[in-house]
Amino acid sequence: MTLWPRTPQFNDDDYPYVNPSKDRKVALITGGNSGIGFFTVLHLYLHGYVVYIAGRSKSRVLKSIKELKEQADRIRSKYSGSLINERFLGELYFLEIDLLNLNSVLVGAENFANLEKRLDILINNAGVMALPFSMTQDGFEIQLQTNYIAPFVLTTKLLPILERTAELSTNKVPPRILYLSSIGHKFAFRYFNMNSTFNYKPNIIFTWFRYGLAKTAGIHFMKMLALRNPKILSMAVHPGFVMNTNLFSYWTSLPIIGIMFWCLFQIFGFFFGVSNEIGSYASVKCCLDQNLSIEKSNGKYFATNGVEAEPSSVAKNMDYAARTWIWTIHQLSERNINIPN
Ligand SMILES: NC(=O)c1ccc[n+]([C@@H]2O[C@H](COP(=O)([O-])OP(=O)(O)OC[C@H]3O[C@@H](n4cnc5c(N)ncnc54)[C@H](OP(=O)(O)O)[C@@H]3O)[C@@H](O)[C@H]2O)c1
Protein backbone atom coordinates (compact mmCIF):
# COMPACT_ATOMS: atom_id res chain seq x y z
CA MET A 1 0.00 0.00 0.00
CA THR A 2 1.21 3.51 -0.72
CA LEU A 3 0.03 6.95 0.38
CA TRP A 4 -1.42 7.98 -2.95
CA PRO A 5 -2.31 5.76 -5.88
CA ARG A 6 0.59 5.67 -8.30
CA THR A 7 -1.11 5.58 -11.66
CA PRO A 8 1.54 4.31 -14.03
CA GLN A 9 1.25 4.99 -17.72
CA PHE A 10 1.30 1.28 -18.39
CA ASN A 11 -0.98 -0.94 -20.40
CA ASP A 12 0.01 -4.43 -21.49
CA ASP A 13 -2.03 -3.98 -24.66
CA ASP A 14 0.39 -1.29 -25.84
CA TYR A 15 2.95 -4.03 -26.41
CA PRO A 16 2.87 -6.83 -28.98
CA TYR A 17 1.90 -10.39 -28.12
CA VAL A 18 3.75 -13.17 -29.94
CA ASN A 19 2.84 -16.74 -30.70
CA PRO A 20 5.87 -18.81 -29.66
CA SER A 21 5.05 -21.66 -32.04
CA LYS A 22 5.23 -19.27 -35.04
CA ASP A 23 7.53 -16.48 -33.90
CA ARG A 24 9.83 -17.72 -31.14
CA LYS A 25 11.18 -14.83 -29.06
CA VAL A 26 13.65 -15.69 -26.34
CA ALA A 27 14.54 -13.76 -23.18
CA LEU A 28 17.05 -14.47 -20.44
CA ILE A 29 16.73 -12.79 -17.05
CA THR A 30 18.94 -13.08 -14.00
CA GLY A 31 17.17 -13.12 -10.65
CA GLY A 32 13.71 -13.64 -12.12
CA ASN A 33 12.57 -15.68 -9.13
CA SER A 34 11.73 -12.78 -6.84
CA GLY A 35 10.82 -9.11 -6.52
CA ILE A 36 10.94 -6.98 -9.66
CA GLY A 37 12.32 -9.85 -11.74
CA PHE A 38 9.32 -12.07 -10.95
CA PHE A 39 6.85 -9.56 -12.43
CA THR A 40 9.13 -8.83 -15.38
CA VAL A 41 9.03 -12.54 -16.22
CA LEU A 42 5.25 -12.66 -15.70
CA HIS A 43 4.64 -9.94 -18.30
CA LEU A 44 7.05 -11.45 -20.83
CA TYR A 45 5.46 -14.88 -20.35
CA LEU A 46 1.97 -13.42 -20.87
CA HIS A 47 3.26 -11.79 -24.06
CA GLY A 48 4.36 -15.16 -25.43
CA TYR A 49 8.10 -15.01 -24.68
CA VAL A 50 10.24 -18.04 -23.97
CA VAL A 51 11.95 -16.95 -20.74
CA TYR A 52 15.05 -18.48 -19.15
CA ILE A 53 15.27 -17.57 -15.48
CA ALA A 54 18.91 -17.65 -14.47
CA GLY A 55 19.37 -18.23 -10.76
CA ARG A 56 21.62 -19.80 -8.19
CA SER A 57 18.93 -21.91 -6.52
CA LYS A 58 17.10 -24.43 -8.69
CA SER A 59 14.43 -24.99 -6.04
CA ARG A 60 13.69 -21.26 -5.67
CA VAL A 61 13.45 -20.78 -9.44
CA LEU A 62 11.25 -23.86 -9.93
CA LYS A 63 8.94 -22.66 -7.14
CA SER A 64 8.68 -19.26 -8.83
CA ILE A 65 7.95 -20.91 -12.21
CA LYS A 66 5.03 -22.74 -10.59
CA GLU A 67 3.72 -19.46 -9.10
CA LEU A 68 4.21 -17.62 -12.40
CA LYS A 69 2.15 -20.23 -14.24
CA GLU A 70 -0.63 -20.03 -11.63
CA GLN A 71 -0.65 -16.24 -11.72
CA ALA A 72 -0.68 -16.18 -15.54
CA ASP A 73 -3.63 -18.61 -15.59
CA ARG A 74 -5.55 -16.36 -13.16
CA ILE A 75 -4.92 -13.32 -15.37
CA ARG A 76 -5.89 -15.18 -18.54
CA SER A 77 -9.09 -16.47 -16.94
CA LYS A 78 -10.24 -12.82 -16.86
CA TYR A 79 -9.60 -12.24 -20.59
CA SER A 80 -12.78 -11.26 -22.37
CA GLY A 81 -14.12 -12.64 -25.67
CA SER A 82 -11.77 -14.32 -28.09
CA LEU A 83 -8.57 -12.92 -26.48
CA ILE A 84 -7.84 -16.25 -24.85
CA ASN A 85 -7.50 -17.83 -28.32
CA GLU A 86 -5.47 -14.93 -29.73
CA ARG A 87 -2.86 -14.59 -27.00
CA PHE A 88 -0.39 -17.35 -26.27
CA LEU A 89 1.66 -18.08 -23.22
CA GLY A 90 5.39 -18.39 -23.62
CA GLU A 91 7.60 -20.98 -21.95
CA LEU A 92 9.57 -20.83 -18.70
CA TYR A 93 12.90 -22.54 -17.99
CA PHE A 94 15.52 -22.60 -15.27
CA LEU A 95 19.15 -21.85 -16.12
CA GLU A 96 21.75 -22.30 -13.41
CA ILE A 97 23.97 -19.26 -12.84
CA ASP A 98 25.52 -18.07 -9.59
CA LEU A 99 26.82 -14.55 -10.10
CA LEU A 100 29.18 -15.00 -7.16
CA ASN A 101 31.13 -17.54 -9.18
CA LEU A 102 32.39 -16.33 -12.57
CA ASN A 103 32.98 -19.88 -13.75
CA SER A 104 29.27 -20.57 -13.18
CA VAL A 105 28.48 -17.48 -15.28
CA LEU A 106 30.69 -18.75 -18.12
CA VAL A 107 29.16 -22.23 -17.96
CA GLY A 108 25.62 -20.77 -17.82
CA ALA A 109 26.27 -18.62 -20.91
CA GLU A 110 27.66 -21.63 -22.77
CA ASN A 111 24.72 -23.84 -21.74
CA PHE A 112 22.29 -21.20 -22.96
CA ALA A 113 24.09 -20.87 -26.30
CA ASN A 114 23.81 -24.66 -26.72
CA LEU A 115 20.07 -24.54 -26.01
CA GLU A 116 18.92 -21.59 -28.12
CA LYS A 117 19.81 -20.13 -31.50
CA ARG A 118 18.56 -16.64 -30.62
CA LEU A 119 18.36 -14.21 -27.73
CA ASP A 120 15.98 -11.29 -28.15
CA ILE A 121 16.20 -9.82 -24.66
CA LEU A 122 18.84 -10.13 -21.96
CA ILE A 123 17.85 -8.62 -18.61
CA ASN A 124 20.61 -8.19 -16.06
CA ASN A 125 18.18 -7.89 -13.17
CA ALA A 126 19.77 -9.81 -10.27
CA GLY A 127 21.44 -7.72 -7.64
CA VAL A 128 22.32 -7.28 -4.00
CA MET A 129 22.33 -4.08 -1.97
CA ALA A 130 24.13 -2.63 1.03
CA LEU A 131 25.87 -5.81 2.18
CA PRO A 132 28.85 -5.76 4.55
CA PHE A 133 32.26 -5.73 2.87
CA SER A 134 33.45 -9.14 1.68
CA MET A 135 35.40 -10.55 -1.22
CA THR A 136 34.21 -13.25 -3.60
CA GLN A 137 36.23 -16.32 -4.57
CA ASP A 138 37.00 -14.44 -7.82
CA GLY A 139 38.63 -11.62 -5.87
CA PHE A 140 36.03 -8.87 -6.30
CA GLU A 141 34.01 -7.03 -3.66
CA ILE A 142 30.67 -8.84 -3.30
CA GLN A 143 28.38 -6.01 -4.45
CA LEU A 144 30.68 -5.16 -7.36
CA GLN A 145 30.75 -8.75 -8.62
CA THR A 146 27.01 -9.43 -8.27
CA ASN A 147 25.83 -6.08 -9.58
CA TYR A 148 28.41 -5.38 -12.27
CA ILE A 149 31.28 -7.81 -12.96
CA ALA A 150 29.17 -10.96 -13.38
CA PRO A 151 26.54 -9.18 -15.58
CA PHE A 152 29.47 -7.85 -17.67
CA VAL A 153 30.83 -11.37 -18.17
CA LEU A 154 27.41 -12.86 -18.90
CA THR A 155 26.50 -10.13 -21.38
CA THR A 156 29.79 -10.09 -23.27
CA LYS A 157 29.72 -13.90 -23.55
CA LEU A 158 26.18 -13.71 -24.97
CA LEU A 159 26.99 -10.89 -27.43
CA PRO A 160 27.61 -13.28 -30.36
CA ILE A 161 24.11 -14.78 -30.04
CA LEU A 162 22.56 -11.31 -29.60
CA GLU A 163 24.42 -10.11 -32.73
CA ARG A 164 23.21 -13.18 -34.60
CA THR A 165 19.65 -12.43 -33.51
CA ALA A 166 20.02 -8.89 -34.88
CA GLU A 167 20.98 -10.40 -38.25
CA LEU A 168 17.97 -12.75 -38.16
CA SER A 169 15.54 -9.97 -37.29
CA THR A 170 13.29 -9.39 -40.28
CA ASN A 171 11.09 -6.67 -38.75
CA LYS A 172 13.99 -4.41 -37.74
CA VAL A 173 13.25 -4.87 -34.01
CA PRO A 174 16.71 -5.00 -32.44
CA PRO A 175 17.65 -7.41 -29.65
CA ARG A 176 17.82 -5.65 -26.29
CA ILE A 177 20.09 -5.66 -23.27
CA LEU A 178 18.80 -4.23 -20.00
CA TYR A 179 20.76 -3.48 -16.89
CA LEU A 180 18.94 -2.88 -13.60
CA SER A 181 20.80 0.02 -12.12
CA SER A 182 19.39 2.16 -9.33
CA ILE A 183 19.02 5.76 -8.29
CA GLY A 184 21.58 4.62 -5.71
CA HIS A 185 24.17 4.92 -8.50
CA LYS A 186 24.31 8.56 -7.42
CA PHE A 187 26.30 7.53 -4.34
CA ALA A 188 29.30 7.29 -6.68
CA PHE A 189 30.67 10.79 -6.45
CA ARG A 190 33.18 12.75 -8.49
CA TYR A 191 36.70 11.32 -8.83
CA PHE A 192 35.11 8.02 -9.76
CA ASN A 193 37.66 5.24 -9.41
CA MET A 194 36.97 1.56 -10.01
CA ASN A 195 39.86 0.64 -7.73
CA SER A 196 38.10 2.14 -4.69
CA THR A 197 36.86 -0.63 -2.44
CA PHE A 198 35.40 1.68 0.25
CA ASN A 199 36.32 -0.90 2.83
CA TYR A 200 35.79 1.49 5.73
CA LYS A 201 33.62 1.62 8.81
CA PRO A 202 30.78 2.25 9.48
CA ASN A 203 29.37 -0.19 6.96
CA ILE A 204 25.98 1.54 7.07
CA ILE A 205 27.57 4.50 5.22
CA PHE A 206 30.33 3.03 3.08
CA THR A 207 28.28 0.09 1.83
CA TRP A 208 26.24 2.64 -0.18
CA PHE A 209 29.37 3.91 -1.89
CA ARG A 210 30.16 0.33 -2.96
CA TYR A 211 26.58 -0.12 -4.26
CA GLY A 212 26.76 3.24 -6.05
CA LEU A 213 30.09 2.35 -7.69
CA ALA A 214 28.73 -0.95 -9.03
CA LYS A 215 25.46 0.55 -10.30
CA THR A 216 27.33 3.44 -11.98
CA ALA A 217 29.68 0.96 -13.66
CA GLY A 218 26.57 -0.82 -14.98
CA ILE A 219 25.32 2.40 -16.60
CA HIS A 220 28.80 2.93 -18.10
CA PHE A 221 28.56 -0.61 -19.46
CA MET A 222 25.27 0.07 -21.27
CA LYS A 223 26.69 3.28 -22.74
CA MET A 224 29.80 1.50 -23.99
CA LEU A 225 27.73 -1.32 -25.50
CA ALA A 226 25.59 1.26 -27.30
CA LEU A 227 28.77 2.59 -28.92
CA ARG A 228 30.44 -0.72 -29.60
CA ASN A 229 27.42 -2.84 -30.60
CA PRO A 230 25.09 -0.48 -32.46
CA LYS A 231 22.81 -3.28 -33.73
CA ILE A 232 21.72 -4.03 -30.17
CA LEU A 233 19.61 -1.71 -28.01
CA SER A 234 21.26 -1.39 -24.58
CA MET A 235 19.53 0.45 -21.74
CA ALA A 236 19.83 0.99 -17.99
CA VAL A 237 16.84 1.10 -15.66
CA HIS A 238 15.99 2.44 -12.21
CA PRO A 239 12.79 0.60 -11.23
CA GLY A 240 11.66 2.94 -8.44
CA PHE A 241 11.70 2.44 -4.67
CA VAL A 242 10.34 -1.08 -4.34
CA MET A 243 10.43 -1.78 -0.64
CA ASN A 244 8.84 -5.24 -0.46
CA THR A 245 11.41 -7.22 -2.39
CA ASN A 246 14.17 -9.34 -0.86
CA LEU A 247 16.75 -6.66 -1.58
CA PHE A 248 16.45 -5.33 1.96
CA SER A 249 16.63 -8.71 3.69
CA TYR A 250 20.16 -8.29 5.08
CA TRP A 251 19.00 -5.26 7.09
CA THR A 252 15.55 -6.51 8.05
CA SER A 253 16.87 -9.84 9.33
CA LEU A 254 19.47 -8.30 11.67
CA PRO A 255 18.80 -9.39 15.26
CA ILE A 256 16.73 -6.85 17.26
CA ILE A 257 17.38 -3.78 15.05
CA GLY A 258 16.05 -5.65 11.99
CA ILE A 259 12.48 -4.82 13.00
CA MET A 260 13.44 -1.14 13.22
CA PHE A 261 14.83 -1.24 9.68
CA TRP A 262 11.72 -3.06 8.48
CA CYS A 263 9.49 -0.31 9.94
CA LEU A 264 11.73 2.38 8.45
CA PHE A 265 11.56 0.79 4.98
CA GLN A 266 7.77 0.39 5.24
CA ILE A 267 7.32 4.06 6.18
CA PHE A 268 9.62 5.13 3.34
CA GLY A 269 7.73 2.86 0.96
CA PHE A 270 4.39 4.27 2.09
CA PHE A 271 5.46 7.77 1.06
CA PHE A 272 7.75 7.12 -1.89
CA GLY A 273 7.52 3.46 -2.87
CA VAL A 274 5.81 1.46 -5.57
CA SER A 275 4.62 -2.16 -5.57
CA ASN A 276 6.82 -4.98 -6.86
CA GLU A 277 4.71 -5.15 -10.02
CA ILE A 278 4.94 -1.40 -10.73
CA GLY A 279 8.66 -1.76 -10.06
CA SER A 280 8.79 -4.09 -13.08
CA TYR A 281 7.13 -1.66 -15.49
CA ALA A 282 10.32 0.17 -16.45
CA SER A 283 11.93 -3.17 -17.35
CA VAL A 284 8.84 -4.43 -19.20
CA LYS A 285 8.60 -1.23 -21.20
CA CYS A 286 12.29 -1.36 -22.13
CA CYS A 287 11.82 -5.00 -23.17
CA LEU A 288 8.66 -4.62 -25.24
CA ASP A 289 8.05 -1.03 -26.32
CA GLN A 290 8.40 -0.98 -30.11
CA ASN A 291 8.80 2.83 -30.08
CA LEU A 292 12.20 2.52 -28.46
CA SER A 293 14.79 2.50 -31.19
CA ILE A 294 18.56 2.33 -31.55
CA GLU A 295 18.54 5.91 -32.85
CA LYS A 296 16.53 7.35 -29.95
CA SER A 297 17.21 5.12 -26.99
CA ASN A 298 20.56 3.33 -27.19
CA GLY A 299 22.62 3.76 -24.01
CA LYS A 300 19.82 5.68 -22.28
CA TYR A 301 18.65 5.48 -18.67
CA PHE A 302 14.99 4.95 -17.74
CA ALA A 303 13.46 5.55 -14.31
CA THR A 304 10.24 4.36 -12.61
CA ASN A 305 7.52 3.40 -15.11
CA GLY A 306 10.05 3.61 -17.94
CA VAL A 307 10.29 7.38 -18.07
CA GLU A 308 13.54 8.46 -19.70
CA ALA A 309 15.77 10.20 -17.14
CA GLU A 310 19.26 11.61 -16.70
CA PRO A 311 21.77 9.55 -14.76
CA SER A 312 24.42 11.30 -12.64
CA SER A 313 27.14 13.35 -14.29
CA VAL A 314 29.63 10.61 -13.36
CA ALA A 315 27.45 7.91 -14.93
CA LYS A 316 27.01 9.76 -18.21
CA ASN A 317 30.66 10.79 -18.51
CA MET A 318 31.99 8.83 -21.51
CA ASP A 319 35.64 9.18 -20.41
CA TYR A 320 34.75 7.43 -17.17
CA ALA A 321 32.70 4.87 -19.12
CA ALA A 322 35.68 4.02 -21.36
CA ARG A 323 37.97 3.78 -18.32
CA THR A 324 35.48 1.48 -16.57
CA TRP A 325 35.43 -0.76 -19.65
CA ILE A 326 39.24 -0.96 -19.86
CA TRP A 327 39.57 -1.54 -16.10
CA THR A 328 37.08 -4.41 -16.31
CA ILE A 329 38.76 -6.06 -19.30
CA HIS A 330 42.11 -5.97 -17.47
CA GLN A 331 40.68 -7.30 -14.24
CA LEU A 332 39.04 -10.18 -16.08
CA SER A 333 42.08 -11.01 -18.19
CA GLU A 334 44.12 -11.27 -14.95
CA ARG A 335 41.62 -14.00 -14.05
CA ASN A 336 41.98 -15.69 -17.45
CA ILE A 337 38.61 -14.47 -18.69
CA ASN A 338 39.19 -12.88 -22.04
CA ILE A 339 36.69 -10.50 -23.55
CA PRO A 340 37.34 -9.59 -27.20
CA ASN A 341 38.32 -5.90 -27.25
N1 LIG B 1 13.93 -2.80 -4.80
C2 LIG B 1 14.31 -1.58 -5.08
O3 LIG B 1 13.85 -0.59 -4.49
C4 LIG B 1 15.35 -1.34 -6.15
C5 LIG B 1 15.71 -0.01 -6.44
C6 LIG B 1 16.66 0.22 -7.43
C7 LIG B 1 17.25 -0.85 -8.09
N8 LIG B 1 16.90 -2.12 -7.77
C9 LIG B 1 17.57 -3.23 -8.50
O10 LIG B 1 16.59 -4.10 -9.04
C11 LIG B 1 17.14 -5.41 -9.16
C12 LIG B 1 16.15 -6.43 -8.60
O13 LIG B 1 16.02 -6.20 -7.21
P14 LIG B 1 14.77 -6.62 -6.32
O15 LIG B 1 14.39 -5.41 -5.54
O16 LIG B 1 13.76 -7.32 -7.12
O17 LIG B 1 15.50 -7.60 -5.27
P18 LIG B 1 15.31 -9.15 -4.91
O19 LIG B 1 13.90 -9.49 -4.66
O20 LIG B 1 16.29 -9.39 -3.81
O21 LIG B 1 15.81 -9.88 -6.24
C22 LIG B 1 17.16 -10.02 -6.51
C23 LIG B 1 17.36 -11.26 -7.36
O24 LIG B 1 18.77 -11.37 -7.60
C25 LIG B 1 19.13 -12.72 -7.38
N26 LIG B 1 20.54 -12.85 -6.99
C27 LIG B 1 21.19 -12.23 -5.99
N28 LIG B 1 22.45 -12.69 -5.91
C29 LIG B 1 22.59 -13.62 -6.89
C30 LIG B 1 23.64 -14.47 -7.30
N31 LIG B 1 24.82 -14.50 -6.68
N32 LIG B 1 23.45 -15.29 -8.35
C33 LIG B 1 22.25 -15.32 -8.98
N34 LIG B 1 21.20 -14.56 -8.63
C35 LIG B 1 21.38 -13.72 -7.59
C36 LIG B 1 18.23 -13.17 -6.23
O37 LIG B 1 18.23 -14.59 -6.20
P38 LIG B 1 18.07 -15.41 -4.82
O39 LIG B 1 16.60 -15.54 -4.61
O40 LIG B 1 18.77 -16.69 -5.10
O41 LIG B 1 18.74 -14.59 -3.74
C42 LIG B 1 16.92 -12.55 -6.64
O43 LIG B 1 16.27 -13.37 -7.58
C44 LIG B 1 18.48 -5.38 -8.42
O45 LIG B 1 19.52 -5.29 -9.37
C46 LIG B 1 18.41 -4.11 -7.59
O47 LIG B 1 19.68 -3.56 -7.33
C48 LIG B 1 15.95 -2.39 -6.83
What atom of ligand 1 comes closest to residue 237's alpha carbon? 7
Active site residue 211: yes
- Angle (CA) 178 60 66, round 5°: 90
Active site residue 93: no
Confidence of residue 6 (pLDDT cuts 50, 70, 90): low
Are the C-beta atoms of 229 and 159 separated by less than 8 Å? yes
pLDDT at residue number 4? 46
Sign, Cα dihedral of 264, 267, 273, 274: positive
Percentage of residues of the chain with pLDDT beyond 90: 91
Which are the contacts of 287, defined by CB distance < 8 A and separation ≥ 6?
A: 27, 40, 43, 44, 121, 123, 176, 178
pLDDT at residue number 283? 98
What atom of ligand 1 comes closest to residue 37's alpha carbon? 16
CATH number of 16-334: 3.40.50.720
Residue spans per domain, the chain:
16-334
Q: Span 23-36, mean pLDDT?
A: 97
For residue range 295-323, list pLDDT tens digits in order: 999 999 999 999 999 999 999 999 999 99
Active site residue 215: yes
CA separation, residue 71 to residues 89, 161, 244, 294, 338 (Å): 12, 31, 18, 33, 41
User: Is the minimum distance from the CB of 238 to ligand 1 under 6 angstroms?
Assistant: yes
User: Is the minimum distance from the CB of 31 to ligand 1 under 6 angstroms?
Assistant: yes
pLDDT at residue number 102? 98
Q: Span 133-153, mean pLDDT?
A: 98
User: Is the minimum distance from the CB of 186 to ligand 1 under 6 angstroms?
Assistant: no
172: pLDDT strictly greater than 90: no
For residue range 218-273, list pLDDT tens digits in order: 999 999 999 999 999 999 999 999 999 999 999 999 999 999 999 999 999 999 99
